[in-house]
A = this chain, B = another copy of it.
Amino acid sequence: MASYSEMTAEQLAEQQAALLVRYNDYKSRELSLDITRGKPGADQLELSMSMLDALNSKSGYTDCNGVDCRNYGGVIGIPEARQLFASVFDVSMDEIIVGGNSSLNMMFDTISSAMGNGLLGGEPWAKQGRVKFLCPCPGYDRHFAICEYFDIEMIPIKNTPTGPDMDEVERLVQSDPLVKGIWCVPKYSNPTGITYSDETVMRFARLKPAAKDFRIFWDNSYFVHHLFGEDVKLLNLLKECEKYGNGNMVYMYFSTSKITFPGAGLAGMATSVENVKAITHRMGIQTIGPDKLNQLRHMKFIKDYDGLLAQMSRHAEIIRPKFLCVLETLEKELEGFDVATWTKPDGGYFISLDTMKGCAKRTYDLCLDAGVKLTKVGATFPYGKDPDDTNIRIAPTFPTLEELELAIEVLCVCVKLAAIEKLLEKAGK
């Protein structure tokens, strides 16, 4: 197949005509497809239904220390849950908090606490001027939304296949005391699917921030969410940081939202013992504590690290064909035309597609008109602004395989149509 950019205007117009036939055919079908949502499909949720039976009126209600999980008490989480995540992340149990149902909520709280009250005795961020966060992108829109809510200035950082551009990260973190944080999805990243290299993690650990209260927000959402073959190993940032006396610099977040039930899962944090103390002190004022019964329910269901991995391989069996379907369709439809590139993730929930420059919004609109809803273009960038207008996030998990295949076919036709329009426009036709 020939690259569009090497075609003459006439050849492009021919291609366009053929594509429009397909496009109008899709349109006439009155489709209603949605590939925006990074949420598990109903078949994945079925995998955890027996968890609802695991805690019942006969199953016992005490944690491993004999504490009655039905009553008040404790903010740090039940010991067996903390122990599980301590082994998963290879940190000490004292470095783990298991909380409520939302790691996003924990991130929001951390920032709210830093803004209003300050970290480890430091001045509240809100009193230090307009603070800044580094935002590797494309990234996760809900991270950016938190920054916007607190009026934290976002500085985009280019994401590379090994992680954020660490030269830029080092330069900014080490020179500007108003740079207080960086958002990272270090494993099977949202949306590119890449995992940070050891070198990247080590450079994070060795940072010498200009701000004493600089923090790495390490959103490890996809820590066991691999899809193909071997798990991609992510270096242990907390341990690396501790080597350089930087243990307080990292907040790692995780959840079981995409392991058990989104919304009815467990969320947690791993961080230094000093940070854990400060956070649980605040939690002691903020809340009566997490839902210990749901923690117990999870432990009765997941049991241990092996149980966790077994559950994840069941998820992978369901999701894998969906990722393969997207990748095969993209390849079949787009390979060789030189109109788009896309990621081939080993895990996580997304495939990231880059159209030709300036074509993402047009692709989005064309898809929408044909009944296919894409994640809003720009959502993966701070302030919703994709400077090159190229990035489209594909979420393969929620639709059925049939819906997904059709949606991606439509998407591909639209990507090509948008590219042809752009090329014809450039050629002045």
Contact = CB atoms under 8 A, between A and B. Distances in A.
A289 B70 CA distance: 22
Nearest to A103: B288
A273 B101 CA distance: 26
Tell me the interface secondary structure of chain A in the complex.
Answer: loop
Interface in A353-367: none
A50 B57 contact: yes
A25 interface: no
B57 A104 contact: no
A264 B56 contact: no
Contacts of A104: 286-288
A285 B104 CA distance: 8
Contacts of A50: 57
A274 interface: no
A294 B263 CA distance: 10
Contacts of A163: none
Contact of A72 (B39, B52, B57, B61): B39
A18 interface: no
Number of copies: 2
A378 B257 CA distance: 42
A291 B262 contact: no
A45 B149 CA distance: 40
Contact of A56 (B56, B282, B286): B56
Contact of A57 (B52, B105, B115): B52
A261 to B, nearest CB: 5
A121 B25 CA distance: 49
B56 A52 contact: yes
A43 B275 CA distance: 38
Interface string A77-117: 00000000000000000000000111011001000100111
Contact of A105 (B71, B126, B150, B288): B288
Nearest to A106: B287
A129 B73 CA distance: 35
A348 to B, nearest CB: 16
Nearest to A145: B285
Given A52-B57, A126-B126, 6 more contacts: A71-B263, A104-B288, A108-B285, A108-B287, A263-B293, A291-B294
